[in-house]
Amino acid sequence: MTPSRRQALAGAGAALIAAPAAASAGARGVAGAAPRRVVSLASCLDAILVHVADRGQIAALSHYAREPIGSTIAEVARTLPFTWETAEEVIALRPDLVLTSRHSALATRNALGRMKIPTQLFAVPDSVAASLDQVREIARLVGRPERGEALIARIEAAVAASAPPPGSTPLTALIYQPNGFAAGRGTLMDEMMTRAGFENVAGRYGLGKWGNVPVERLLADPPQVLLSGVPVRGSRTWADRVMRHPVLKSLSGRMVQTQLEEKLLYCGGPVLIHTAAALAQARRTALEALT
């Protein structure tokens, strides 16, 4: 995932409310006929759509769905059509429902509105509850509400399973992705960290919802656990080098480094199943190293 893409996702999550925005051009729900050709223009919506819609309903996903670094559904997405998010591509698919987010291309959204193509605009959820509401809404829109409820049950079970034993002391932790990019308070990741037994300490480095933590600040005041991203194989960029900076080894006696894939950070829905499991494993790894 490129830095601009990362900033766009995080910025959208920080700025938006979590509930679905009002539909434009009359998006359909279960009250009418289920849509037969659905297009998704956002990676987080892609992940939900493939779990609740029939394969034959999916006219196209976003091109981000095929990125193995940024998508949890890359393997499935390679079997489905995709677009580069241009209005021309979407219109040519003749969709009867388009799922968009506020970081979908504005020009495309405007063009679809002028063409009276049914669309539904979603925000990036900043809580587990808001994410579950989004799953329920997308399942309703595609006429498969029972699949939405089944997926919600799986997500809730995974999140519950990630919780530490009652009375456990939270471990201080920081997300540390390429270029020191971190999730702060009021984000979905902040809640997921808390539920998995971590105390997100991004605020003590001056972060709001999202931002970069300089390695110097980390050295001066390390958390117990650093949830580092996974460097791209062969990458020589400074952004990736920051996560594995040699100086971090000097903190080995005070801080445990574990890996958390970047594709688990920005989306809710079924992605939370993977995120919950990864955070639970990270906590177990950290406890073993710290005791």
Per-residue pLDDT averaged across 200-225, rounded? Answer: 92
Cα separation values, 253 from 76, 149, 225, 248, 286, Å: 41, 45, 11, 11, 12
CA pair distance 200, 184, nearest whole angstrom: 7
Average pLDDT over residues 217-225: 92
Task: Tell me the pLDDT band of 3, cut-offs 50, 70 and 90.
Answer: very low
**Contacts (Cβ under 8 Å, ≥6 apart) of 75:** none
CA of residue 8 relative to chain centroid, distance: 12
Q: Contact at 8 Å (CB) between 124 and 210?
A: no
pTM for the predicted model, two decimal places = 0.85
Rounded Cα distance, 291 and 74, in Å: 37
Task: For residue 182, give the H/E element and its range.
Answer: strand 181-183
Q: Is the dihedral of CA 269, 273, 275, 280 positive or negative?
A: positive
Q: With bands split at pLDDT 50, 70 and 90, how would you rate the model's confidence at 245?
A: low
pLDDT value for 202: 96
Question: What tens digit of pLDDT does each residue of 13-38 get?
Answer: 433 323 333 344 444 444 468 999 99
Q: Tokens 């910025």 label which residue?
A: 11
Q: Which residue has the higher pLDDT, 245 or 54?
A: 54
Q: Which two tokens stand for residue 256?
A: 């445990």
Report the pLDDT value the prediction gives residue 126, as an integer from 0 to 100.
94
Task: Check pLDDT > 60 for residue 76.
Answer: yes
Write down the pLDDT at residue 178: 83
